[in-house]
Amino acid sequence: MGKIPVGILGATGMVGQQYIALLENHPWFEVRYLAASPRSAGKTYREAAAGRWHLVKPCPDAVGALMVEDANDVSRATAAGIGGECAFVFSALEMGKDEIRALEEAYAASGIPVVSNASAHRWTPDVPMVIPEINPHHLDIIPIQRKNRGWDRGFIVVKPNCSIQSYLTPLYALTRAGYPISRIFVTTLQAVSGAGYPGVPSLDMIDNVVPYIGGEEEKTEQEPLKILGTLKNDGIENAAVPRISAHCNRVPVSDGHTACLSLEFAGSKPSVDEVKQIWAAFTALPQELDLPLAPKRPIILREEPDRPQPRKDRDTDKAMAVTLGRLRPCNIFDLRFTALSHNTVRGAAGGGILNAELLKAKEYLS
Amino acid sequence: MGKIPVGILGATGMVGQQYIALLENHPWFEVRYLAASPRSAGKTYREAAAGRWHLVKPCPDAVGALMVEDANDVSRATAAGIGGECAFVFSALEMGKDEIRALEEAYAASGIPVVSNASAHRWTPDVPMVIPEINPHHLDIIPIQRKNRGWDRGFIVVKPNCSIQSYLTPLYALTRAGYPISRIFVTTLQAVSGAGYPGVPSLDMIDNVVPYIGGEEEKTEQEPLKILGTLKNDGIENAAVPRISAHCNRVPVSDGHTACLSLEFAGSKPSVDEVKQIWAAFTALPQELDLPLAPKRPIILREEPDRPQPRKDRDTDKAMAVTLGRLRPCNIFDLRFTALSHNTVRGAAGGGILNAELLKAKEYLS
Amino acid sequence: MGKIPVGILGATGMVGQQYIALLENHPWFEVRYLAASPRSAGKTYREAAAGRWHLVKPCPDAVGALMVEDANDVSRATAAGIGGECAFVFSALEMGKDEIRALEEAYAASGIPVVSNASAHRWTPDVPMVIPEINPHHLDIIPIQRKNRGWDRGFIVVKPNCSIQSYLTPLYALTRAGYPISRIFVTTLQAVSGAGYPGVPSLDMIDNVVPYIGGEEEKTEQEPLKILGTLKNDGIENAAVPRISAHCNRVPVSDGHTACLSLEFAGSKPSVDEVKQIWAAFTALPQELDLPLAPKRPIILREEPDRPQPRKDRDTDKAMAVTLGRLRPCNIFDLRFTALSHNTVRGAAGGGILNAELLKAKEYLS
Amino acid sequence: MGKIPVGILGATGMVGQQYIALLENHPWFEVRYLAASPRSAGKTYREAAAGRWHLVKPCPDAVGALMVEDANDVSRATAAGIGGECAFVFSALEMGKDEIRALEEAYAASGIPVVSNASAHRWTPDVPMVIPEINPHHLDIIPIQRKNRGWDRGFIVVKPNCSIQSYLTPLYALTRAGYPISRIFVTTLQAVSGAGYPGVPSLDMIDNVVPYIGGEEEKTEQEPLKILGTLKNDGIENAAVPRISAHCNRVPVSDGHTACLSLEFAGSKPSVDEVKQIWAAFTALPQELDLPLAPKRPIILREEPDRPQPRKDRDTDKAMAVTLGRLRPCNIFDLRFTALSHNTVRGAAGGGILNAELLKAKEYLS
């Protein structure tokens, strides 16, 4: 019973590197196919990534020896073999949105499932945008997606933006416990790795904060509504609430997005103690299925007054748990707290891998 | 017509140093009296501050040569001469709150006006807490304060916390223009200089954010209500609005507090363009009186999408203007924007000096 | 065959915390005795360390439940039992040098071996200062030390300063291979954790470098001479060479000291390739004995032009290996390179534990 | 008597912006001609620099309104008028070395003197590389340069690399006082602004040091030899000494290069006190001519143990003075000290302007 061979599109980019690093020694998946821009194609990954590998963890030798293919050439992937080297792909493509959208569709049409980090298909109605602890049932749209498009084995599943990962699961936990939320104010303090490499210039981050990240507030306000939405006929219907207002800032932190939240409940309001109990007890399908990268406890609430902190909390439970703190009543809405998650693990490649583990467990990858 | 001689209590601390630096070449005031802890007393300021002067600007030679007195010994100040070396004092005392409260009262009782940065008397009903652009009329309580306490020439005036300086004047400008504000969400990203020296350890600020500053959220939520309050009989009655909910964070920035705000108007709502016009046109008493440290335009709105930034905007107009940016509609309340002010100038010593300039212009220091 | 019970003196300080963290799940040693200042005595470690635990890794539960003793009261340690809870101690005391010297001697006199991080006894002639890869034979002075002082079971062994850990082993490797070194220029770029907690103020490290660390250059220049010295009669005679000239700087890095070196050989000069081979092949007694915390390869030379870097290389091989790079001819001396080691692991608690492992392997702890 | 109209080649780049900022209100020069890449040509400078102006100081309005020309089209500059808008140019071109070399020659051939920051012509034998305090007499080669090339009014003068500015003047001061220097070890800790904008990625500078800057060590070792060289026939003959060995590092500092030096005198050796007197008394031609941007005292030695520091000392005397500290005997060579200068002012645009001021005073610009 060998591992499932997996490909990575955009393998030389920052998220591509994270996939490679996180998949080393994965119990189910094995990286066997790498694709990137034509410029990298035809080189070994070691050559193609020379001077561009920016992770602390070194590139695994086996991956370094793989030949890089041209990501635009889907036939290379199908030739590698759907049943062979490339049973499905993680898409960490870095191109224009329209190109990514078309290319991901081409892979899916060729029979290769695509688990994507790109934002291109997040608002495609029949493409599920999944956080496995929240809306695993959205995967049920895959048969409809296939039917809509005449695809056989392929499909596309995406994950949401990194900025919402730290707090959406805690909010969902409250909703699931009978306390739906109507409105949320959120201010994020986001790490520079979210902008990739080279990304944010040092001159903008030494002794400074930048109070703007292009497109980030829109994603932060809108993506939760699809994730919390409902399967309807041939698409996902957005939830009507919560209404979200976001301020997104870039701060001099390498990894780990922090978010300060105030929230208002739609109906009855839990006490602070009830919220603590709900979060402490929260587990969901990834925990029940014991998925390899699932955190044992998805939500960790710290009691110290000055946590969570990026440097101390981002790596909690394989960097897949979210860490919360400062839970207290709000002076205007009902509750306030601070939330933190690792943006390039839970918020990027780790989140993509957890989606793939869920797909495997639900037998979409066989 | 010589300059008014002024003393500084807590002269060796960080705010004391800022006073000394900002008062160099001041057209009205001249530092002639310095007081600090008994440990510094009897030394020249140069000796007392050796190894503790942390400003970029060097200590002026004339101040370095002054002898430091024991701040606890009020008789030294009165001996120095109310009409002589020490016509009034800036209090930058760093002690327990109760000790500061008592000591500031002792100076005032001895006939020496106290312009204070300390938080000790901020909630004393007959002590005005002043931002000169907002509530200069609160100084009218000084005669009542004197009568209440049987003081002759002395009095106490305080300034509010640094965290609210960046946005309270812009909000007041809207209120004054007929658009009172009912509710505010604010998240601050505060500089380390706000904690003094040595203050925040490097290990907490390298690659990190600390989502907590003790007491800061309470000050941020409550102090505006006194500043916006009304003179009543023998005290200041707090305003009922705006209701404020604050998240205060420490970030790796040396100087300059950033604040992200969402606000709701109590009644009619101005358009974004009206707000721009109100802010651009805003001046107040310090500008009318042409006070030396008053910024020409107290409120600067930047149109670039990524401003204000601490490193680029904190020093605007002698570091006394507040810089705003990102003005846009809010998804929940009415408007959102980002605000920035220099916390150790406008938010500390500069704010104190502007208060003293106002007091001088209103003839409270003669 | 239980683990050896070990005590930590100065358990609540930064290095004490590092010992606790690194000894969790140690195969040979188990923390069973904690001592700190009288202020902490009588509390559980969890209580005593509340608000002061600054490591990313949380405090192990079993250690948190231990009662903290007064480090000044040696009788508590002997009562705990030399054969019981406290077979030997790691000293991470933070007091005056004379007090530490006397207290470490008192523990040793009471029969408790002391493996110390403090600098107090580094220049005591019959106390070995040991880097296990370089001078494990200096432990042979322990019987003489015991005889000199009339001690029975106790003794004192110290480790050198963190600033020399990154390059002394590589230089020793060359010396051992027949290329003794006569002169060394070294400039260090040292991490803030070397100053403990709270340590270096943020205001000194944001957008800044401090070109001075008190006492550090002297240690950097002199300690290698004792480590490379020779056992003579009843003490260690310093080596005459290498002559070292050091510039020590503090830079905005959390962990990991970087050193830029130029070196001159005393006699014949190896080629760059020979040096590479010598370093690649280098192992010493800790590797031969397979000590638990010994790095597999103590010296890692990176070929990339821009390594070593603190953030990427400090954690190599349990943070116990040193990482080198930029090996090239020197324009004045013979060779240049850059060296890096983790200052609070290899340079502090990890180095102390490796010393203890060596002592255990050589049967000094039975 | 109007100001001399000056052009800037590469006006939209980081150094170009520095020129614009530093020339605002210059008593002798006025920016009247701007040239950049074809992409910027035809736009106003305000349009061309939109989103790319990275200085704290805003772009002067008059410059913002100027039309940007194509820097490749020399005829535009001559048309603007040698006696008109563009009497000479500052070259801050950012292209390939060969292109810059040819383009600067084309301007000079067209009659437009070129004062360059680029490294392209630093090693051209008849092009002087000038630090005005050290080798103003190298300008005497201009007539030879013109003759060599058949140029009439035009010529090329360059300034050296930013990494050597902090210490070459102090070393020259010692040489001039009769203490020539034979050998120098130098380790630099260089600011990120030296790499321009976007320059160094934040991910490389948060909690990190990069021990390598491409080409920087070569420049640091070789450029001083030309500056200290001798005019011979039709070129400049390099000095034979000092021999320099450099380690160049990038550190998380915005502006201000720090250098740690050890130096050996060729002959007799001054005492530390003599060195202090030599530096304190040092002035040179720019001070005698009272050039507008010349620092009053080019060399400032601080006595505090922990200076110079980038944040505190870089702006000394219009950021044109170099600040030294930690002067002490060296353990191997004769003396050690730490040196600091502002890399984008003294080390870039400010140095270029000082060169132009010297050229004006010596009547090369009439």
Note the pLDDT tens digit of each residue in B255-265. 999 999 999 99
Q: How many angstroms separate the CA atoms of A140 and B315, rounded?
A: 56
Residues of A in Cβ contact (< 8 Å) with D54: 203
pLDDT by residue for chain B (366 residues), tens digit each? 689 999 999 999 999 999 999 999 999 999 999 999 999 999 999 999 988 898 988 999 999 999 999 999 998 888 876 657 789 999 999 999 999 999 999 999 999 999 999 999 999 999 999 999 999 999 999 999 999 999 999 999 999 999 999 999 999 999 999 999 999 999 999 999 999 999 999 999 999 999 999 999 999 999 999 999 999 888 899 999 999 999 999 999 999 999 999 999 999 999 999 999 999 999 999 999 999 999 999 999 999 999 999 999 999 999 999 999 999 999 999 999 999 999 999 999 999 999 999 999 999 997
C121, C162, C248, C342: the active-site residue: C162
Residue A310 has pLDDT above 80, yes or no: yes
Residues of B in Cβ contact (< 8 Å) with A249: 189, 258, 260
The answer, for C178 touching chain B at a CB cutoff of 8 Å, is: no
Residues of A in Cβ contact (< 8 Å) with B309: 204, 208-211
- Taking CA–CA distances from D207, the nearest residue in chain A reads A254
CB D229 within 8 A of CB D290: no
Nearest CA-CA distance, residue C54 and chain A, Å: 9
Note the pLDDT tens digit of each residue in D321-358. 999 999 999 999 999 999 999 999 999 999 999 999 99
CB B165 within 8 A of CB B341: yes
Name the pairing type of β-strands C230-232 and C235-237: antiparallel
Q: Please report the pLDDT score of residue D1 as a whole number.
A: 60
Cβ of A211 within 8 Å of Cβ of B258? The answer is yes
Residues of C in Cβ contact (< 8 Å) with A315: 56
Identify the residue whose tokens are 């006929």.
A233
Cβ of B212 within 8 Å of Cβ of A326? The answer is yes
Q: How many angstroms separate the CA atoms of D139 and A304, rounded?
A: 67
C86, C121, C248, C257: the active-site residue: C257
CB A48 within 8 A of CB A20: no
Q: What are phi and psi of B266, to 5 degrees?
A: -75, -35
For residue B6, what is the enclosing H or E element? Answer: strand B4-9
Taking each helix axis from N to C terminus, what angle separates D14-23 and D350-361, rounded to the nearest 10 degrees? 50
- Taking alpha carbons only, the member of B78, B82, B88 closest to residue B365 is B88
- Restricting to C residues 296-315, those with a Cβ less than 8 Å away from any Cβ of A are 304, 311-312, 315
Nearest CA-CA distance, residue A237 and chain D, Å: 39
Residues of C in Cβ contact (< 8 Å) with D249: 189, 258, 260
Question: Which of D56, D202, D204 to probe by mutation at the A interface, max A CB count within 10 Å?
Answer: D202
A68-70 β-sheet, strand order: A68-70, A29-36, A4-9, A88-91, A114-116, A156-158
Identify the residue whose tokens are 């039975």.
C366
Cβ of C311 within 8 Å of Cβ of A254? The answer is yes
- Taking alpha carbons only, the member of B269, B180, B169 closest to residue B224 is B169
Among the partner-chain residues C193, C204, C206, the one whose CB lies closest to the CB of B203 is C193
Instruction: Tell me the torsion sign for CA atoms C327, C329, C330, C335.
Output: positive
Q: How far is CA A233 from CA A140, A143, A159, A359, in A?
A: 11, 12, 21, 21
Dmax over CA atoms of chain D, in Å, equals 60
The answer, for C52 touching chain B at a CB cutoff of 8 Å, is: no
The answer, for D52 touching chain A at a CB cutoff of 8 Å, is: no
CB A224 within 8 A of CB A242: yes
Residues of B in Cβ contact (< 8 Å) with D254: 311
Q: What is the DSSP string of A236-267?
A: EEPP---EEEEEEEE-S-SS-EEEEEEEEESS
Cβ of C336 within 8 Å of Cβ of D243? The answer is no
Instruction: Tell me the torsion sign for CA atoms C242, C247, C253, C255.
Output: positive
Residues of D in Cβ contact (< 8 Å) with C330: 245
Q: In chain D, what is the straight-line distance between the N-terminal and C-terminal CA atoms, in Å? A: 13
Cβ of B312 within 8 Å of Cβ of D207? The answer is no
Residue A78 — very low, low, confident or very high, per pLDDT cuts 50/70/90? Answer: confident
Cβ of A201 within 8 Å of Cβ of D206? The answer is no
Which string of b and e fits D264-279 if b means at least 16 CB within 10 Å? Answer: bbeeeebeeeebeebb
CB D157 within 8 A of CB D236: no
Cis omega (within 30 of 0) for bond into C252: no
Q: In chain B, what is the straight-line distance between the N-terminal and C-terminal CA atoms, in Å? A: 13
Chain pair A-D, CB pairs under 8 angstroms: 56
Cβ of A315 within 8 Å of Cβ of C56? The answer is yes
Q: How many angstroms separate the CA atoms of B46 and D304, rounded?
A: 13
Whole-structure pTM value: 0.96
Q: How many angstroms separate the CA atoms of C363 and A312, rounded?
A: 38
Q: How far is CA D53 from CA A63, A361, D35, D46, D197, in A?
A: 42, 52, 16, 9, 10
- Taking CA–CA distances from A252, the nearest residue in chain C reads C206
The answer, for A56 touching chain D at a CB cutoff of 8 Å, is: no
CB A120 within 8 A of CB A101: yes
Q: How many angstroms separate the CA atoms of B308 and B117, rounded?
A: 26
What residues of D act catalytically? 162, 257
Note the pLDDT tens digit of each residue in C23-78. 999 999 999 999 999 999 999 999 999 888 989 889 999 999 999 999 999 988 88
Q: How many angstroms separate the CA atoms of B136 and A62, rounded?
A: 72
Cβ of B187 within 8 Å of Cβ of A183? The answer is no
Nearest CA-CA distance, residue B84 and chain D, Å: 35
Q: How many helices (H) and strands (E) does chain C have?
A: 13, 14
Note the pLDDT tens digit of each residue in D99-158. 999 999 999 999 999 999 999 999 999 999 999 999 999 999 999 999 999 999 999 999
Among the partner-chain residues B203, B204, B254, the one whose CB lies closest to the CB of C203 is B254
What structural domains and CATH numbers belong to chain A? Answer: 4-161+348-361 (3.40.50.720), 162-342 (3.30.360.10)
Mean pLDDT within C332-356: 97
- A25, burial (CB in 10 Å: exposed 0-12, middle 13-18, buried 19+): exposed
Q: Please report the pLDDT score of residue C157 as a whole number.
A: 98
Cα angle value D221/D227/D232 (rounded, 5°): 120
> Residue B186's beta-bridge partner residues?
B246, B261
Q: How many angstroms separate the CA atoms of A137 and A359, rounded?
A: 11
Q: Which two tokens stand for residue A313?
A: 């909390």
- Taking alpha carbons only, the member of C116, C92, C31 closest to residue C65 is C31
- Taking alpha carbons only, the member of B63, B264, D153, B311 closest to residue A250 is B311
Q: What is the DSSP string of B166-211?
A: HHHHHHHHHHHTT--EEEEEEEEEE-GGGG-SS-SBGGGTTT--B-
Q: How many angstroms separate the CA atoms of D209 and D191, rounded?
A: 11
- Taking alpha carbons only, the member of B90, B83, B34, B25 closest to residue B57 is B25
Cβ of B201 within 8 Å of Cβ of C197? The answer is yes
- Taking alpha carbons only, the member of D277, D273, D265, D267 closest to residue D334 is D265
Cβ of C200 within 8 Å of Cβ of B200? The answer is no
Cβ of C312 within 8 Å of Cβ of A56? The answer is yes
Q: What phi-psi label fits residue D233: left (phi over 0), alpha (psi between -120 and 50 degrees) or beta? A: left
For residue C170, what is the enclosing H or E element? Answer: helix C165-176
Note the pLDDT tens digit of each residue in C175-229. 999 999 999 999 999 999 999 999 999 999 999 999 999 999 999 999 999 999 9
Q: How far is CA D348 from CA A239, D118, D135, D160, in A?
A: 56, 9, 17, 9
Cβ neighbours, 10 Å, residue B366? 9
Q: How many angstroms separate the CA atoms of D97 and D103, rounded?
A: 10
Note the pLDDT tens digit of each residue in A276-308. 999 999 999 999 999 999 999 999 999 999 999
Q: Which two tokens stand for residue C127?
A: 């106390």
Cβ of B211 within 8 Å of Cβ of A312? The answer is no
DSSP, res A198? S
Residues of A in Cβ contact (< 8 Å) with B332: 183, 185, 243-245
Identify the residue whose tokens are 């954010």.
B209
CB B226 within 8 A of CB B122: yes
Residue D79 — very low, low, confident or very high, per pLDDT cuts 50/70/90? Answer: confident
Among the partner-chain residues C51, C56, C206, the one whose CB lies closest to the CB of A311 is C56
Mean pLDDT within A342-360: 97
Note the pLDDT tens digit of each residue in A211-258. 999 999 999 999 999 999 999 888 899 999 999 999 999 999 999 999
Identify the residue whose tokens are 């420049």.
D219
Mean pLDDT within A30-41: 95
